[in-house]
Structure 1
Amino acid sequence: MTTLKDIRFSVLDLSPIVEGGTISQSFQNTLDLAQHVEKWGYHRFWLAEHHNMPFIGSSATSVLISYVANGTSTIRVGSGGIMLPNHSPLVIAEQFGTLESLFPGRIDLGLGRAPGTDQLTAQALRRNSGDDGHNFPQQLTELRAYFDPSILSKPLPVRAFPGHGLKIPIWLLGSSGFSAQLAGQLGLPFAFASHFSPKYTIPALEIYRNAFQPSDVLDEPYAIVCLNVIAAETDEEANYLSTSLQQQFLHLIRRTEKPIQPPVDNLDEMITVYEKNALEEQLGTSIFGSKETVEEKLTAFLEDTEADEIMVNGTIYDHEKRLRSFELISEIFSS
């Protein structure tokens, strides 16, 4: 049976902007976290593209990847993900060709088809209202062809410099079945967003594995599952720290987005029954607890999903507590 020590652990970071903090501090904390988790044995460090969200600083994802890669030395750094319909495939090929040329062998390109924002912001990003993600497979093919022209019978008339000829791992990201099936059909690795879409986790993984076709990239399916994990010295402290994450989702439900709020003693006093059920639906696989509790729940999660790699998102208001959480988790998989 596969155990937590048999698989890789990685990190998803959104450069969280906390109440009372600055975006510059968020970026410094992101780099500090990356440097620590590299030392603690995490395999990769991904940053995600979101827009018009006052609690997320990683909107210019490619720029931040360069900052983190430059400040680390061995950990893989990448996007979890770039929302491809927001961009020209040629621009992404050039950006990640630049990153791979600067940091050879350390860059991952994770791609999503959602906007990573609301529809008004998506329109401001894309300008073309027709780019709604339906042509994602075509965009993906174009992007891949900038790196490897041989995937098309007729080469593209434009080449990406830098980018042309570089072997950059491409991952498809998803929170439902669409990208799971596409990743399987193309023989690409897949990453599922269980940290905000828990009920689709098992179905999406089944779709991916059933659809998988061996390719030049992979002989067998390879799936990352991302989930929220907050570890602390005790269950009580972890549950207390988790109220910052829960408030983040609560503000999304209410459409009253704010920077990451300090933890509170009793979240139940702040929410309705409807909101509590909505939080459970979005955070159902989240794990909060002591090292022992987290290990027990992660083991059960691995048995349920058979994930090849677990990616941890840990939204905690206090940066030192956040570091400690990732350190405790590392003791689970590295001891």
Structure 2
Amino acid sequence: MLDDSSRFAALLAELSGLTTEAQTADRGDLDLLDTIDLVRAMNTEDRRVPEAVAAQGEQIALAVDGITERFRRGGRLIYIGAGTAGRIGVLDASECPPTFGTDPSMVVGVIAGGEQAIRSAVEDAEDDEEAAIADLERLSLAPGDTVVGISASGRTPYVVSGLVHAREVGALTVAIAANADSAIGAAAEIAIEVVTGPEFISGSTRLKSGTAQKLVVNMLTTLSMIKLGKTYRGVMVDLQATNEKLRVRSVRTVAQLAGVGIEEAAEALGLADGSVKLALLLLATGADASAAAHALAEAGGILRDAIRALN
């Protein structure tokens, strides 16, 4: 067992080798810059992020296909992370039900330290390897699920432990890191290592690393939902109209995609019990609601296929 001084030295050496912890010589004068120069300098750094994400396109595509395949079999997508990375997973999971009409259990965000850590830092939670296993066991993790571990450094013990456990269970494992040759990348079957370089403020991985994580998780859920038929002609057609704005959006969406007036769109939505996708199918085929719902189910929720089957 390493004593405290040896452990500190080892950790210091490990962190010193991470690009996310690196310092750049031209950052020493930030506090002396005018505000507009600060804006321009930070924006210049931020523009590097999409290019770094694009470099991982093939790995992201592998992850999307794996997630989609498991969704089709009833599996779940489970994000696991600590701090900023954990919050990004929780955010993406929470936005799937209203955007795509999914059950809240389909995409889940797990953060080290639990619900409290979403709003406040929970000290040492990211180092608790046993907690990651317990958190996944509490969800009854199964081989048909996908676990996506998120960590800017790529070495967070909570995330590494969660991925190792998930792989032992037989779930698909994906890692999102901001450093190459990461520990979480080694623990997962698919490693998405988006190397964004030193942060605008050294070590503040809520910046470029966090932006990269958000872009990647956007892709994982959005693209898998597209492949599941949650969109039609580039528009959300499985949204849940839970407020007035979304109800108006539903009517407008049906009117625009079906090429009908507002009143006809609203009438179709009424017959479809508020389902945009079903209303579009009714208008496209003239089928009654029962036959249209059956065709949609037979088509696996893919609107294009259901229209083809009824026409």
TM-score where L is the length of structure 2: 0.31
Of Structure 1 and Structure 2, the greater helix share is in 2
Of Structure 1 and Structure 2, the greater strand share is in 1
Higher gyration radius (CA) = 2
